[in-house]
Amino acid sequence: MPQMFERAELHSLKNTIVYSDLDIPKRVLAAWSAGVQEQLIATATVIDDYLLVIDCNLKSWEIPFDSLSALAAIPVEKRTEFEIDEDGSYLYCESADIHLDLESLRAAGDSELQTKLMAERILYEQQFGVAIASVRKAHNLRKTDIPGLSERQVRGIEKGERPHLLTLRKLAKAHGMSLNEYLEAVAQQFSKLPHSS
């Protein structure tokens, strides 16, 4: 409702939120308690070709569906069929199989933020690849010792190409681990790497 007033250039209280169930105020209060109110989604709704998102600090954004490829992939008739995670950490649309956090949504209309997030993602994927290589080397495996993966594929993953779930399963099996054990080993190696702030 406050967003509709704002679009119509009518005055309303800035910190007003209208809700139909108790999940929204619970999310807002929990976010404030944890001090992450600017990072979590309180609520979202669709109006015309826009996704209107309000964070738990009650700041709102209008995000055109065509400004973000993940949003554009949602068929028009399915655009209202999304859920917000219980704590507000992401918005999920089952029909398009997308999870979008608040930062990704905010970046849709902010090219500077998009560039920053892209650089962070590339760095993360490169470091994830280094962690995968560290686990492989700790198990005395060569790049050619992974059944179902070529040396080129392993090299690509270790340089930062994002692996699919099936690929991670093959890596885990080659290391004699369950997928969870393997991911835990990779996470331990990842945590040892220097990360830029």
pLDDT tens per residue across span 144-158? 999 999 999 999 999
Q: Mean pLDDT throughout 99-115? A: 80
Q: Is residue 28 pLDDT above 80, yes or no?
A: yes
The type of residue at 194 is P
CA 115 vs. chain centroid, Å, equals: 16
Return d(Cα 178, Cα 41) in angstroms, integer: 34
Return d(Cα 123, Cα 34) in angstroms, integer: 27
pTM: 0.52
The type of residue at 47 is I
For 41-93, write each residue's pLDDT tens digit: 998 889 889 998 888 888 888 888 888 888 888 888 998 888 998 889 988 98
Mean pLDDT of the chain: 84
Domains and CATH numbers, the chain: 2-109 (3.30.2020.40), 112-191 (1.10.260.40)
**pLDDT the model gives residue 142:** 96
**pLDDT the model gives residue 20:** 60
Q: Mean pLDDT throughout 179-197? A: 85
Q: Mean pLDDT throughout 176-188? A: 93
List all residues 6 or more positions away from 17 whose beta carbon is below 8 Å from its beta carbon. 2, 24, 25, 28, 42, 43, 54, 58
**pLDDT the model gives residue 5:** 47
